[in-house]
Amino acid sequence: MSHGPRSGLAAVSSALLAMSRHLETRDVLKTIVASARELLDAQYAALGVPDDHGGFAQFVVDGVSDAQWKAIGPLPRQHGILAAMLHEARPERLADVRKDPRFEGWPHAHPDLVDFLGLPIRDGDEIIGALFLANKNCPKPEGSCGFTQEDEELLALLAQHAAIALTNARLYERSRELTIAEERSRLAHELHDAVSQKLFSLRLTAQAAAALVDRDPARAKGELHQVAALAAEAAEELRAAVVELRPAALDEDGLIATLRTQIQVLDRAHTARVTFTGAGYRALPAAQEEAVLRVAQEALHNALRHAHAERVDVSVERRGTGAVLRVSDDGDGFDPASVGRAGRHLGLVSMRDRASGVGGTLTVEAAPGKGTTIEMEVPGG
């Protein structure tokens, strides 16, 4: 292939555009090698991204068939001329790579390379890859004509853009990993806050039904209806957590009615007396209402599960433009300082995150033998 100055520029430009069109690292690498091979009219092109252990994290070739690639075997190590390009960081242009003192022979099934042009790909001071070409196609059938100084300059330009495309692809992949990690932790909190409590109540209600079934079938039947209702709610919460919806009840009934209903259910399901008061409350921004509901649920759940309380009192009242939630039990209490952040205990961590996530504050007032009070204040809007 030979280019006049115009078509040469057009070819370079379309190669650069192709590189920036992809976001996945592997696609970017493939486009780079294919473009390099085409632009410089070579038989083979390859691009290696080094790992930290003397091998290549990725190695992409163009001009080699899949069958041939398989037959060659494992990825090369960073040795010989490949290593020199990565470590000495300068271009290598050789008329016959096999005559170079660093040449160590080809693996079985490797094509025979003669003329060779290699360039490091740099991001600042860091070498993030090596791009190389071999066997320039020659108009004359006999022998090879080799890569020129001009080819080297063209490849250098390509390598600079390859560096940008590679760095972007890495940033993109990194940010996607972060998003996935955040999403996982959100889901874990959501499942913990909403679903595990419903299942806990469900278990207790089912036990109550089992205990009543001989003695008082009518009441057992009532408990079983409750089991069905709790199971339906758990399923709904699970669905909401997975698709990141607000609990439907919040939109339909508002915070106060939602809390009141849930607390009535808990009062019936547990031996402790559970009460609710909502005084002078005014609707809050949606995110704050959701946070208040979740914190109330977790605080209630902790009180009913850990405290051996006789009473749990929940209140929501207006303060300034915002509101204060208080969940207070007369149970065993505990030492908040002794609850590690790490490990299995998600509840307290999750409550703090929820509060700070909407610009609010959370205080835990607890001491062994003195009960526990959780207070959350949100600013309103």
Ligand X SMILES: Nc1ncnc2c1ncn2[C@@H]1O[C@H](COP(=O)(O)OP(=O)(O)OP(=O)(O)O)[C@@H](O)[C@H]1O
Residues that bind ligand X (CB under 6 A): 192, 302-303, 306-307, 329, 331-334, 339, 344-348, 372
At 173, the amino acid letter reads E
Sheet with strand 126-136: strands edge to edge: 56-62, 42-50, 126-136, 116-123, 92-94
User: Closest separation between CB of residue 337 and ligand X, Å?
Assistant: 11
User: Closest separation between CB of residue 120 and ligand X, Å?
Assistant: 50
Q: Which residue is nearest to Mg ion (CB)?
A: 347
Q: Nearer Cβ to ligand X, position 197 or 288?
A: 197
Crossing angle (nearest 10°) for helices 25-40 and 149-190: 170
Range 286-315, binding Mg ion (CB under 5 A)? 302
The item of Mg ion, ligand X, none sharing an interface with residue 43, based on CB under 5 to 8 Å by kind, is none
The item of Mg ion, ligand X, none sharing an interface with residue 47, based on CB under 5 to 8 Å by kind, is none
Q: What is the DSSP letter of 191?
A: I
Instruction: Give the torsion through C-alpha atoms of 161, 165, 166, 170, to 10 deg.
Output: 150
User: Closest separation between CB of residue 179 and ligand X, Å?
Assistant: 24
Q: Which residues pair with 120 in a beta bridge?
A: 130
Q: 3-class DSSP state for residue 23?
A: coil
Decide: is 331 part of the binding site for Mg ion (CB under 5 A).
no
Q: Nearer Cβ to ligand X, position 144 or 196?
A: 196
63, 120, 322, 347: residue in contact with Mg ion (rule CB under 5 A) = 347
**What's the burial of 39, exposed, middle or buried (CB within 10 Å: 0-12/13-18/19+)?**
buried
Strands 361-366 and 372-378, by their bridges, are antiparallel
Q: Which two tokens stand for residue 191?
A: 């499942």
Q: Nearer Cβ to ligand X, position 19 or 307?
A: 307
The item of ligand X, Mg ion, none sharing an interface with residue 334, based on CB under 5 to 8 Å by kind, is ligand X
The item of ligand X, Mg ion, none sharing an interface with residue 208, based on CB under 5 to 8 Å by kind, is none
Helix intervals (H) in the chain = 5-21, 25-40, 66-72, 80-87, 149-190, 196-212, 217-243, 248-269, 286-306, 347-357
User: Closest separation between CB of residue 263 and ligand X, Å?
Assistant: 15
User: Closest separation between CB of residue 300 and Mg ion, Å?
Assistant: 10
The item of ligand X, Mg ion, none sharing an interface with residue 352, based on CB under 5 to 8 Å by kind, is none
Q: Nearer Cβ to ligand X, position 119 or 292?
A: 292
Compute the distance between CA of residue 25 and CA of residue 36 in angstroms, rounded to an integer. 17
Sheet with strand 322-329: strands edge to edge: 273-279, 311-319, 322-329, 372-378, 361-366
What's the residue count for the chain?
A: 381
Compute the distance between CA of residue 54 and CA of residue 52 in angstroms, rounded to an integer. 6
The item of ligand X, Mg ion, none sharing an interface with residue 303, based on CB under 5 to 8 Å by kind, is ligand X
User: Closest separation between CB of residue 245 and ligand X, Å?
Assistant: 22
Q: Nearer Cβ to ligand X, position 48 or 333?
A: 333
Q: Which residue is nearest to ligand X (CB)?
A: 347
Q: Nearer Cβ to ligand X, position 39 or 312?
A: 312
Q: Count residues near Mg ion (CB under 5 A).
A: 2
Residues of this chain that bind Mg ion (CB under 5 A) = 302, 347
